[in-house]
Structure 1
Amino acid sequence: MSVDSTADGSTDTPTEPVYVDGEADLDEIVAENDVVLTDFYADWCGPCQMLEPVVESLAEETPAAVAKVDVDANQMLASSYGVRGVPTLVLFADGEQVEEIVGVQGEDQLRSLIERYAE
Structure 2
Amino acid sequence: MITLTTDNFHEQVLKADKPVLVDFWAEWCPPCRMIAPVLEEIEAEYGLTVGKLNTDEHPELMARYGILGLPTLLLFDGGEPVKQVMGAKPKRMLVNDLGLS
- Please indicate the TM-score interval, normalised by the length of the shorter structure: 0.7 to 0.9
Aligned to 2:57: 73
Aligned to 1:105: 89
Calculate the TM-score normalised by the size of structure 2: 0.87
- Shift of the alpha carbon at 1:33? 3.6
Cα distance in structure 1, aligned partners of 2:21 and 2:99: 8
Unaligned runs of 5+ in 2: none
8 Å Cα contact 1:26/1:67 also seen in 2: no
Give the number of the structure whose alpha-carbon radius of gyration is greater: 1
Deviations 1:4-54 (A, max 9, x none): xxxxxxxxxxxxx101111x4122122224111100000010100101101
Q: Which of 1, 4, 10 is matched with 1:27 structurally?
A: 10
CA 1:81 to 1:96, structure 2 compared with 1: closer, same or farther past 3 Å?
same
Aligned to 1:10: none
Cα distance in structure 2, aligned partners of 1:25 and 1:60: 22
Higher relative contact order (CA closer than 8 Å, sequence separation 6+): 2
Deviations 1:48-94 (A, max 9, x none): 01011011111222121101000000011111111111101001122
Number of residues of Structure 1 aligned to a counterpart in Structure 2 = 99
Percent identity among equivalent residues?
34
Aligned to 2:29: 45
Q: CA RMSD in A?
A: 1.6
8 Å Cα contact 1:33/1:65 also seen in 2: no
Calculate the TM-score normalised by the size of structure 1: 0.75
- Shift of the alpha carbon at 1:114? 4.7
Cα distance in structure 2, aligned partners of 1:69 and 1:48: 11
Q: Which of 54, 61, 76 is matched with 2:38 structurally?
A: 54
Unaligned runs of 5+ in 1: 1-16
